[in-house]
Amino acid sequence: MTSGERELRRARAYLSRVAEPPAPALSELIIDAGPVRAARLVAAGQVSHWVAAETGARRADDRAEADLSAVAALGGRLVIPEDAEWPAEAFTCFATPTAQADDRWRAPVALWVRGGGRLDELSERGVAVVGARAATGYGEHVAAEFGYDLAEGGFTVVSGAAFGIDGAAHRGALAAEGRTVAVQACGLDRAYPAGHHRLLDRIAEDGAVVSEYPPGVWPARHRFLVRNRLIAAFATGTVVVEAGVRSGARRTAAAAAALGRVVMAVPGPVTSALSAGCHLLVRDEQALLVTRAAEVIEAVGRIGTDLATPLSIPRRCTDGLNPELLAVYEALPARAPRHPEQLVRDSGVPLHRVRSALPLLELQGLVGCGVSGWHRVQPDSAS
C-alpha cells in the first residue's frame, strides 16, 4: 500500500465515524474536496454550516488508526470507493435523479467488511430476501427455500442477519453452499443479534459481513432504517417474505423502489398479520407477487441476462460515465436546453460541480452548448 493509499484509507476511516450516515452535506464535501482534504477540513472545523451540523459532535474524535487495527484484528478490512472491489456498479443506484432528490439515499463513505468475497462480485447478482424478525414457521420455511434456490441459481442472497426471515434466508443460501451477504446496522465487533454469532462467521467465509459503521457502534433503532438502503442497493431485486403493515421490511421495499430495484413480495394466509404487509405491497402495485425462486430469477434475471449477453443490446452512450456525470446528463431534458443553475435540483449535484461536469460531457460528445444553454447531443444510434 502506498502512503497515498494509506492516507486515503485513513481519511475515509475517520469520515466513516465523524458523521451519522446518511450525511448528505458531508458526502457532497467529500465529492467536492476529495476524502483527504475533506477529512482535514472537517477535523479543523473549516466547513459549511451544514457539514458542521453533521460532524460537529464527533470531529475531535479521530480513531481512524485504532478502528482500522481493530477491524484487521477481526480479519476484516475497510473497503473504500477508490478500491477495485468497491461495488461501484451496484451503487450507481444512488446517483439517479430520484435517489439524489432524497437525502436518505446517499452512498456510504466507506464499508467495513469481514469476509472472503469481493464486494463488486458479490453485488453483481444479488437478491435481497428480507422480512419480519418474529416470523412464522411458514415465513421461515419460505425464506429458507428462496435462499437455497437463489443461491443454487448463482445469486448472492443479501439480508440483514436478523432473527426470523433474514436468518432463514442466509441459512438457506449456506445450505446450498452459495454465497450470502449480511449487512449490519452496527460495528463488525458487535455480532448482532448475539445468537447469530456463528451464523455471521459462516456468512463471512465465502460471502461478506458488511457495515458502514466503525467498530464499537451499537445497533440503534434508526440505524436499521439507514442500513436497509444498503441491503436494497446491494441487490438487483428485493423479496419481502413476511412483513407487518408497519415494518422495517416494508421500508426496505420502499428504499428498493426508490433506488430503482425490482421489489417482490411473497403472499401468505390473509389471516396472518405477518403477510398483511406483503399483500399491501402487491395491492398498491409496489411489488410483484412471487411464489418461488424461479419467479424471482425471472424478474431480476432480465437484467442479469442482459448483462450476460452484452452483444445483443446496443451500448448506451452513457455507459462508463461516473455517477455524477450521469446525474448531470440525465437532468438535461432530451430536447430542451438548460443553464447550469437549472440542473442543480434535478441532478442533485452542486452548482460548481455541474459547471465542471458539462464540459466533460461535451468532450465525450454527449452535450453541446448554444445560446439558450446546454443541450443533449443525440448520439448516433449505431455507435
Which positions touch its own copies (CB under 8 A)? 138, 141-142, 266-271, 275-276, 279, 282-283, 288-292, 295
Shortest distance (Å) from residue 144 CB to its own copies: 12
- In this complex, which beta carbon is closest to its own copies, that of residue 260 or of residue 267? 267
Residues 133/163, Cβ–Cβ less than 8 Å: yes
Shortest distance (Å) from residue 275 CB to its own copies: 7
Q: What ranges in 19-136 are assigned the alpha helix state H? A: 24-33, 35-44, 49-55, 64-73, 88-91, 97-100, 119-122
Which position has the grid cell 420502499? 254
- In this complex, which beta carbon is closest to its own copies, that of residue 4 or of residue 269? 269
Cis peptide before 193 (omega within 30 of 0): yes
C-alpha span between 71 and 63 (Å, rounded):
12
- In this complex, which beta carbon is closest to its own copies, that of residue 146 or of residue 224? 146
Shortest distance (Å) from residue 227 CB to its own copies: 27
- In this complex, which beta carbon is closest to its own copies, that of residue 142 or of residue 231? 142
Q: In what order do the strands lie in the sheet with 180-183?
A: 76-79, 111-114, 208-211, 180-183, 156-159, 126-130, 237-240, 262-265, 288-289
Shortest distance (Å) from residue 246 CB to its own copies: 16
Calculate ∠ Cα 183-142-292, nearest 5°: 100
Shortest distance (Å) from residue 228 CB to its own copies: 24
- In this complex, which beta carbon is closest to its own copies, that of residue 248 or of residue 268? 268
Shortest distance (Å) from residue 21 CB to its own copies: 35
| Phi–psi pair at 374, nearest 5 degrees | -85, 145
C-alpha span between 101 and 108 (Å, rounded):
16
- In this complex, which beta carbon is closest to its own copies, that of residue 87 or of residue 131? 131
Shortest distance (Å) from residue 261 CB to its own copies: 19
Shortest distance (Å) from residue 136 CB to its own copies: 10
C-alpha span between 94 and 229 (Å, rounded):
10
- In this complex, which beta carbon is closest to its own copies, that of residue 38 or of residue 144? 144
Cell of 230: 444498503
Shortest distance (Å) from residue 138 CB to its own copies: 6
- In this complex, which beta carbon is closest to its own copies, that of residue 212 or of residue 242? 242
Cell of 281: 405491497
Which residues neighbour 330 within 8 Å (Cβ) at sequence distance 6 or greater?
A: 96, 97, 318, 346, 347
- The burial class, CB within 10 Å (0-12 / 13-18 / 19+), for 17 is buried
Which position has the grid cell 459532535? 57
- In this complex, which beta carbon is closest to its own copies, that of residue 214 or of residue 237? 237
Q: What are the b/e assignments for 54-87, b being 16+ CB within 10 Å?
A: bbeeebeebbbeebbebbeeeebbbbbbebebbb
